Amino acid sequence: MAGRRHAPRMRELRDGQNDSNQNSQNESDGLLSVEPSQQSYLSVPSSPSSYRRTRPNMTSQAGGAPDERTALLGTTRSSRIRIASAHGTPRAPTLSRNQSYGTGEGTDTVRGNPPTRHHSRANSWGQRLVRALADRQEESVSESKGSHFPEDRVWYDQFTSTDWVHDSIADAHRVKALRSRKDFWGRVYILFDGAQGWILSALVGFVIAVLAYIVDVTESTFFDFKDGYCARGWLISEKRCCPHGPCTDWRDWGEVMHGWPFGERWTEFVIYLGLVITLASVSCLLTLTTKTVVPSAYRLSTLDENLAAAPVSPGGDGDEGVDSPNGNGTPSRRASVAPPASAPPMIYYSAAGSGVAEVRVILSGFVLHGFLGLKTLIIKTVGLVLSVASGLSLGKEGPYVHIATCVGNIACRLFSKYDRNDAKRREVLSAAAAAGVAVAFGAPLGGVLFGLEEVAYFFPAKTLFRTFFCCITAALTLKFLNPYGTQKIVMFQVRYLIDWEYFELVSFILVGVLGGAAGALFIKASRKWAVTFRRIPVIKKHPLLEVVLVALVTGLIGYWNGLTKMPVAKLLYNLAAPCDDRDNNLEDLGLCPDSKADIPPILWRLLWAFLIKGFLTIITFGIKVPAGIYVPSMVVGGLMGRLIGHMVQWLVLAFPDSAMFSSCNKVSSVSCIQPGVYGLIAAGSTMCGVTRLSVTLAVILFELTGSLDYVLPFSLAILVAKWTADAIEPLSIYDLLTEMNSYPFLNNKHKPVFTSELIDIVPRARRERIIDISNSPLVPATSLRSKLESLHRAGELDGGLPIIRNDILVGLIPAPDLEYALDNLPDESTALCLMANVPSIDDSDDEEGGGRRDPTDFSPYIDPAPMALDIRSPMDLVYELFVKLGLRYICILRDGKYAGMVSNFPPNPRP
DSSP string, 141-167: HHHHS---STT--PPPPTT-B--HHHH
Average pLDDT for 532-558: 93
- Which residues lie closer than 8 Å to 170 by C-beta, 6 or more apart? 104, 150, 151, 152, 153, 421
Among the residue ranges 106-110, 161-165, 232-236, the one predicted with the least confidence is 106-110
Please report, to the nearest 10 degrees, the dihedral formed by the alpha carbons of residues 321, 323, 327, 329 taken in order.
Answer: -60
Q: What is the pLDDT of residue 741?
A: 72
Q: What is the pLDDT of residue 305?
A: 66
Q: What is the pLDDT of residue 457?
A: 77
Please give the C-alpha separations between residue 772 and each of 261, 769, 810, 855, in angstroms, as whole numbers: 83, 10, 10, 20
Q: Quick check: 311 pLDDT over 90?
A: no
Contact 12, 776 (CB under 8 A): no
Query: Which amino acid would we find at residue 857?
Result: D
Q: Quick check: 411 pLDDT over 60?
A: yes
Q: What is the pLDDT of residue 516?
A: 97
Q: What is the pLDDT of residue 661?
A: 79
**pLDDT tens column, 606-622:** 999 999 999 999 999 99
196, with CB counted inside 10 A (0-12, 13-18, 19+), is middle
- Which residues lie closer than 8 Å to 710 by C-beta, 6 or more apart? 496, 500, 677, 701, 702
**pLDDT tens column, 556-589:** 999 999 899 999 989 999 999 998 878 877 888 8
Query: Distance between CA atoms of 501 and 309, rounded to whole angstroms?
Result: 48
Closest CA to 673 of 514, 499, 506: 499
**pLDDT tens column, 474-499:** 999 999 999 988 888 888 888 888 88
Please give the C-alpha separations between residue 26 and each of 726, 773, 793, in angstroms, as whole numbers: 55, 16, 18
More confident residue, 76 or 687: 687
Q: Quick check: 395 pLDDT over 70?
A: yes
- Which residues lie closer than 8 Å to 582 by C-beta, 6 or more apart? none
More confident residue, 43 or 674: 674
Cis, peptide link before residue 36, omega less than 30° from 0: no
Q: Quick check: 432 pLDDT over 90?
A: yes
- Phi first, then psi: what are they for 229, rounded to 5°? -150, 165
Among the residue ranges 102-106, 698-702, 765-769, 882-886, the one predicted with the least confidence is 102-106
Query: Distance between CA atoms of 371 and 359, rounded to whole angstroms?
Result: 9
More confident residue, 28 or 375: 375
What is the chain's length?
911
Among the residue ranges 306-320, 383-397, 806-820, the one predicted with the least confidence is 306-320
Q: Quick check: 684 pLDDT over 90?
A: yes
Beta bridge partners of 113: 108
Q: What is the pLDDT of residue 572?
A: 93
Contact 734, 307 (CB under 8 A): no
Q: Quick check: 798 pLDDT over 50?
A: yes
SS3 503: coil
Percentage of the chain beyond pLDDT 90 is 45
**pLDDT tens column, 196-227:** 999 999 999 999 999 999 999 999 999 999 99
Q: Is 74 left (phi over 0), alpha (psi -120 to 50) or beta?
A: left
pLDDT bin (cut points 50, 70, 90) of residue 898 is very high
Closest CA to 112 of 65, 54, 55: 65
Query: Distance between CA atoms of 782 and 869, rounded to whole angstroms?
Result: 31
Query: Distance between CA atoms of 51 and 80, rounded to whole angstroms?
Result: 4
Q: Is 474 left (phi over 0), alpha (psi -120 to 50) or beta?
A: alpha
CB atoms within 10 A of CB 817: 21
Contact 375, 187 (CB under 8 A): no
Q: Is 485 left (phi over 0), alpha (psi -120 to 50) or beta?
A: left
Q: Quick check: 138 pLDDT over 70?
A: no
Among the residue ranges 70-84, 362-376, 801-815, the one predicted with the least confidence is 70-84
Q: Quick check: 544 pLDDT over 90?
A: yes
Contact 889, 324 (CB under 8 A): no
